Amino acid sequence: MTAYDRLSARFARIATVHEAAAMLNWDAAAMMPPGGAAARGDQLAVLAGHAHALLTAPEVAGDLAAATEADAWREANLRLMRHAHLRASAVPADLVEAQARANAACETIWRGARRDADFARVAPALAEVLNLARQQAAALSAALHLSPYDALMDGYQRGIGAADVAPVFTAYARFLHDALPRAEELQASRPPPLRPEGPFPADRQEALCRRLSEAAGLEAEHSRLDRSAHPFCGGTPSDVRITTRYDETDFARALLGVLHETGHALYERGLPAAFARQPVGEAAGMAAHESQSLIIEMQACRSDAYLGWLGPQLHAAFGGAAAAFAPANLGRLWRRVERGHIRVDADEMTYPAHVILRFRLEQALVVGELAAADLPGAWAEGMRDLLGIVPPDDAQGCMQDIHWYDGAIGYFPSYTLGAMAAAQLMAAARRDVPGLDAAIGRGDLSPLVGWLRLHVHAKGSLLGFNDLLRAATGRPLDPADFEAHLTARYLA
């Protein structure tokens, strides 16, 4: 075997360990009884330690130094292997296992504390997660020659740092300051939407969610839909697991959440099979991943065209007054701007404000300017500054997201970078695919998904985020398409 062949076999083993961990994480969120949490933390820690050992074994450095490849895909794969090895070698194995245990323990406490709006209960566990994350960030910073926060961001979206994100977010905050009051004023001048009358039984919602996900192109033989406290997409490219939560007074949360997670799942299903379990065969980062969920949910499935097709499906499933399911009424319901507390329920105009807040806070948390115990107050102050509102309790404030309590720090910028990329990709797809909106109006997303398969999914990690956008749209990330989209949808 050549050095490259040995590396390829090793990285396939590492990927398989990560797949096993992904399934255990899915089970913890969707199926595991609370009493299994401690054992699950141990299991995940052992798998994390094993994957780390495989990646940092002494022979890996020798093979990485000896391996050469001329083919573009294999060369990119080798480059990503080197980067993964550099990151892993920078972090001690005992820290990797300690983080896995602390993250699993904190997430378990968070579930009950969030339910009871009791931040004090989870604050000590979060402080330990942050302590370990700071150690990880310091180690990565020295190895990658990045700031500690950028070193954490690198784990979610390579090549994008705080200096890239901050001016984009500052410009968007200025746009929002002007656009949001205008959108609210225009909205207030129009008839209020009719709300479909419930209740909406969870089993009917679930059946409809399954049908819509399959209609979007997600094959039932390669996916599952389950329930969890926080919707997510996990699993593996050949066994994708998506989850949602149901509210019998409002079906929209589950339905739109499933369409969002279906976008993630379609990306996983479309990754290049020839490089399965290789770094170059993975998604191009979390901002790229968010672009795929948001292009399905926000750009396609909240469009006038799709709502015209969806309305009759909803009426058939739930009954009630047909007028409530009319496309124009659904548009007023689901494209309504509102200064709300919950990120996952936010409209697409105010959503970036939620991300900007988290971007600012997690930078302060990483460098030690903000302690875990002071998070609720800093959160309230930030929400007041960005949206002019203050959460009534911590469950609707700093406890609403799982990410920090699960150790995912540096992830949040990906959400808004993904929204901006989704608008840019959709504008390009409309230019490239004749009759795209007409197909969407028939409930047929296959032309859009086909275009994404070619320009995004099949590229894996061959290209970085900006190079991927440049190849697909002719430009690196450009927020202009996102602001034009919001202007057309909310200010016209």
Catalytic center residues: 261
Separation of alpha carbons 464 and 135, rounded Å: 27
Sheet holding 233-236, edge to edge: 223-227, 239-244, 233-236
- 341: CB partners within 8 A, 6+ apart: 383, 389, 391, 392, 396, 397, 400
The answer to whether 261 touches 255, Cβ cutoff 8 Å, is: no
> Minimal CA–CA distance to 155: which of 26, 54, 285, 12?
285
Q: Where are the alpha helices (DSSP H) in 145-279?
A: 148-154, 162-188, 202-215, 252-270
- 7: CB partners within 8 A, 6+ apart: 60, 63, 64, 67, 78, 81
Q: Where are the alpha helices (DSSP H) in 116-188?
A: 119-144, 148-154, 162-188
Lookup: tokens for 176 = 């929002």
Lookup: tokens for 110 = 């968070």
How many C-alpha atoms does 359 have within 13 Å on its Cβ side?
A: 26
DSSP 410: S
Q: Where are the alpha helices (DSSP H) in 326-445?
A: 327-334, 351-367, 375-387, 413-432, 436-440
> Minimal CA–CA distance to 430: which of 299, 322, 331?
299
The answer to whether 385 touches 177, Cβ cutoff 8 Å, is: no
Angle CA(374)–CA(381)–CA(170) in degrees, nearest 5?
115
How long is the chain? 492
Lookup: tokens for 259 = 């369409």
Separation of alpha carbons 267 and 289, rounded Å: 7
Dihedral-angle region of residue 72 (phi above 0 means left; psi in -120 to 50 means alpha; beta otherwise) = alpha
Lookup: tokens for 98 = 């300690």
The answer to whether 236 touches 22, Cβ cutoff 8 Å, is: yes
